[in-house]
Chain A
Amino acid sequence: MSATAQPISNVATASAITKPPLKIFRNLQSKIALTPMMATVIVVFIGCSIWTIVYSLTSSRILPTSNFAKDFVGIDQYTRLFTSSRWQLSVRNLFVFSIFSLAFTFVLGFLLAVFMDQKIRFENTFRTIFLYPFALSFIITGIVWAWALNPAFGLQKSVRDLGWTNFTFDWIANRQMVVYSLVIAAVWQGTGLMMALMLAGLRGIDDEIWKASRVDGIPKWRTYWSIIIPMMRPVFITALVLFAAGAVRTYDLVVAMTGGGPGLSSQFPTVYVYEFMFVSNLAQGLAASSVLLAAVAIIVIPWAFYEFGQKKS
């Protein structure tokens, strides 16, 4: 960072030798060019988030309250939120979904990347096949997997037609298991991206390390376990943060695949937010989305410090 900043400031001072301009006019063009970005940061990323938190402290119902002082209710919406069984179920679903989809995507993505890194033939073909789901909308993924897992037509029926008439695979229609059917779809969609990230990480590792470990006669799996995996920690952390923050956002997939059902059994926090925000109780929806904000902050802020903090030193 500072390496590139150095020559630029030299240029700036060189041209400014004649007459030192007022501080605010320094780099004026750049400031004008970045106005849309700064406005977006202030109005949208900061302003809208604060607005949401502030109005989650009111009793706004269909529309935001016009008399803030009168409708201020403190943390009532949050108390209601955390005692709501529907919200508790949503959070539980999100946890199960995130942990399982993350674990499977991570392990499968890494293993595929390792296999792809063995100087195999048709590497491009395999990569294309593994990654194409990522090019598709979550809506498409949800619809296709809902169809493939539909007990009356899909996998269950096909296996029964083969002769195993007692075979049961009805996760998508089963209240206890429906969240795992979402995991299947999410893993299908995300593993290719994970593989691409991991493969880029593996390719970034110096060949000398492989040579050295071969000279020392260390078996390949040991090299991976004791040398390569520890070296790939930054890639792992980035991928985990990325996918974890993505999991908190999961919305389209649920809408398309299960619609939050059967009953309310595949409710997700985002679905809860949407339904309260636009249907029945605005402030409740705002409170729920503020909790999502906090959840993401817990994931992202430590990572941001880790990422950006190190570079400064």
Chain B
Amino acid sequence: MSSTALAIDPTGPRPIRRFAPSRIFIYAVLIISAIYFLIPLYIMISTSLKGLEEVRLGNIFSLPMHITFDAWDKAWNKACTGLECLGMHTNFWNSVKITVPSVIVSIAIGAVNGYALANWRFKGSEFFFIILLVGSFVPYQVMIYPLVLLTSKMGIYSTLWAVIMIHSIFGMPVLTLLFRNYFASLPAELFKAARVDGAGFWGVFFKIMLPMSLPIFTVALILQVTGIWNDFLFGVIFAGPTNYPMTVKLNNIVNSIQGVREYNVNMAATILTGLVPLTIYFVSGRLFVRGIAAGAVKG
């Protein structure tokens, strides 16, 4: 009754007055919050463009007087951790070498898991899935030492293989959940029709499910690339010093206590490390939000 009354209400939906006090208040809150969120980004960029004397004299909020990219050059080519002065560039490639295979393997496993769980359940499959999900909340520290033993038994500890394996294992809960929900949302008729046509487990997967799942693959890709690129703990434990990813190197550069602290180089190194995930974030926009929401919200 009340909804029909609303529909013929002569005034219709109340027009939004642009300069009403409540609107101004809303925008003021949003803008102040936006400034708070942007300040660290501003500090990072402006500090990285300053010379070291200027950093030591000026305050962090001031714009650089003389813009110089020396700090960036140093961060990339010759920043030091203790006695070693090799910069970030080798570690950038380490991060690439870790991220690319880890993303491919973890998504492949997650997609197959999700498909099997959505369309080919058997007794106990949901039980394993629930343990996997609950297990994903367990702090990694609980499982890490036995995994160190396991990988060293396998002879891969301190190699890229170990980090890739660990990322694939710990990416499994979220990716399986993501793909399971997606495949379950596809119309069941498709699956049935393919079955009637004689397609088996893999036939349905490759011919029906995969071609329809580009959107969810993109979301999974964003989720995994940013997540694995930003990892620190697995990199520091399983990769071994020659394979340290960028995050580990960054922390070592910033927290090495020898000599003068070069804050401008630190900030440049920080930006360099954040460039890949930030680029993905700005380019993918809504898909990133979908990815983290799907990773965060229940099944």
The answer to whether A158 and B128 touch across the interface, beta carbons within 8 angstroms, is: no
The answer to whether B116 and A30 touch across the interface, beta carbons within 8 angstroms, is: yes
Contact segment of A69-77, A121-129, A168-176: A121-129
**B-side interface mostly:** helix
Q: Is A293 in contact with chain B by the CB < 8 A criterion? A: yes
Which residue of the partner chain A has the closest CB to B55? Answer: A153
The answer to whether A44 and B143 touch across the interface, beta carbons within 8 angstroms, is: yes
A interface, size bucket: 35 or more
The answer to whether A11 and B192 touch across the interface, beta carbons within 8 angstroms, is: yes
B interface, size bucket: 35 or more
Whole-angstrom CA separation of A126 from B5 in the bound complex: 36
Q: Which residues of chain B are near A22, meaning CB under 8 Å?
A: none
Q: Which residues of chain B are near A20, meaning CB under 8 Å?
A: none
Which residue of the partner chain B has the closest CB to A301? Answer: B134
Whole-angstrom CA separation of A112 from B30 in the bound complex: 7
Which residue of the partner chain B has the closest CB to A111? Answer: B29
Whole-angstrom CA separation of A274 from B128 in the bound complex: 29
Q: Which residues of chain A are near B282, meaning CB under 8 Å?
A: 128, 132
Q: Which residues of chain B are near A147, meaning CB under 8 Å?
A: 43, 47, 60, 263, 266-267
The answer to whether A30 and B122 touch across the interface, beta carbons within 8 angstroms, is: yes
The answer to whether A49 and B142 touch across the interface, beta carbons within 8 angstroms, is: yes
Q: Is A110 in contact with chain B by the CB < 8 A criterion? A: no
Whole-angstrom CA separation of A239 from B295 in the bound complex: 12
> How would residues 302 to 313 of chain A score, 1 for a CB under 8 Å from any chain B CB and 0 otherwise?
001001100000
Chain B residues within 8 Å of A, Cβ to Cβ = 2-3, 5-6, 16, 26-27, 29-30, 33-34, 36-41, 43-44, 47, 55-56, 59-61, 109, 112-113, 115-122, 125, 128-135, 137-147, 149-150, 169, 172, 176, 184, 188, 191-192, 195, 200-202, 226, 229-233, 237, 247, 250-251, 254-255, 263, 266-267, 270, 273-274, 277-278, 280-282, 285, 288-289, 292-293, 296-299
22 A-B pairs whose Cβ atoms sit less than 8 Å apart in the complex = A7-B192, A37-B172, A45-B135, A130-B33, A130-B37, A132-B282, A136-B230, A137-B273, A138-B230, A139-B247, A140-B230, A144-B267, A153-B263, A188-B37, A193-B292, A193-B296, A197-B293, A211-B2, A251-B232, A256-B254, A293-B139, A307-B298
